[in-house]
Every structure is written in structure tokens, then in C-alpha cells.
Amino acid sequence: MHPDCERILLSENEIAARVKEAGAWLEKKFAGTVPVAVCNLKGSAVFFADLLRAAHLDVEMDFMAVSSYGANAVSSGKPYVKRDLFSSVEGRDVLLVEDIVDTGRTLITLRQFFKERGAKSLTVVSLLDKPARRVVEVEADFVCFSVEDAFLIGYGLDYAERYRNLPYIGILKRSVYEK
């Protein structure tokens, strides 16, 4: 385990098993259609790659970045589009892949974004959900794990851009961000 990690919350095996279930859910949901799968960078990148390989579907992939986090462990307020999509999603079924729904501000912003871009439908899959932290009422359509209110790292999640490549999800030691 990484020395900055207090404990492992979700092991590599637990994540892989649940990602398989999420993939099966997507196969049913999108049978007969070709959705545009959108990865909200950077936190979703690892999950996105595993999830889409677990779902036997015809999909297109696109990437964007919406962020409100700086190099700290608390949300800095209103999210903004940092990097736009490569292609139009007008009239398309969109599958948005998120790392975590925390306050919900990012997801609300993205829901509005896809509405304005004329998407035909929006389905949201999130790896994690922290319901205790929600400030706006919004939910993903499929959540892999509902988790406690702690700062998490690994499997795409960072603190100050580090730890994204850990293969598990761990709780970051408070001493790292309270220095």
C-alpha cells in the first residue's frame, strides 16, 4: 500500500467485479444503439477504459474536462468546462462516465451542458457516490459504489495530480492535505 494511504477502501478485485456488473448493465441499456461515451477527464480515465472494455457494445469515445478542484481537498465552487468535446453530440445518445459525484455541482453542470448541445439522451455512470456531501439534488443512473465522506485516491482519483495510477481506491491520510 502507498505510504500516503490510510487504508484501502476498495481493492483491485472488488473494483473489477463491480465494473463487470456495470458493463453488463450498459450492454442491456444500449443494446441496438451506438452511444457516444464521454470521459470527464482526468479522474474518470481509468474507469472509462475498464468500463468500456467490460461492455460489449458499439460505442464512440469522446473526452472533455470539467473541473472545480484545484490542488486541494475541498471543492472550490462553480465548475467550468476546461476542455470541450472533440465532436458534436447533437441528436446522439450520450453515456457520461464520471469518477465521483461529490457535491453534485459538476454533474448538474454537465447535465445542462449536454442539454444545450442537443444530446438525444444522457445516461450517467459514476464509479463512486458520496451522498453525504451532496449540495445539489442530482444522481447518476448507475453507481458502482456509494462511499463514506473521506478524501479518496487511486483508480483515476488524484490529490494534487498524484496517486491516479494506484490500482485500488484508498483513503488519503489527513496529514498529507493538512500539512
Active site (catalytic) residues: 102
Which residue lies nearer to ligand IMP by CB, 70 or 91?
Answer: 70
* Beta-strand relationship, 93-101 and 169-172: unpaired
Q: How far apart are CA 94 and CA 152, in angstroms?
A: 27
Regarding 23 and contact with ligand IMP (CB under 6 A), the answer is: no
Q: In what order do the strands lie in the sheet with 152-153?
A: 5-10, 169-172, 152-153
Max Cα separation, the chain? 52
Nearest distance from residue 60's CB to ligand IMP, in Å? 22
Which residue lies nearer to ligand IMP by CB, 33 or 139?
Answer: 139
Which residue lies nearer to ligand IMP by CB, 36 or 100?
Answer: 100
Which residue lies nearer to ligand IMP by CB, 117 or 133?
Answer: 133
Identify whether the C-beta of residue 131 lies closer than 8 Å to the C-beta of residue 102. Answer: no
**Coil, helix or strand at residue 90:** coil
Span 79-138, contacts to ligand IMP by CB under 6 A: 79, 98-106
Span 27-86, contacts to ligand IMP by CB under 6 A: 43, 68-69, 75, 79
Nearest distance from residue 28's CB to ligand IMP, in Å? 26
* Beta-strand relationship, 169-172 and 5-10: antiparallel
Span 137-166, contacts to ligand IMP by CB under 6 A: 151-152, 157-158
Question: Considering CB under 6 A, how many residues would be counted as binding ligand IMP?
Answer: 18
Q: How far apart are CA 20 and CA 138, in angstroms?
A: 24
Number of H helices, E strands in the chain: 4, 9
Residues at the contact surface with ligand IMP, assessed by CB under 6 A: 43, 68-69, 75, 79, 98-106, 151-152, 157-158
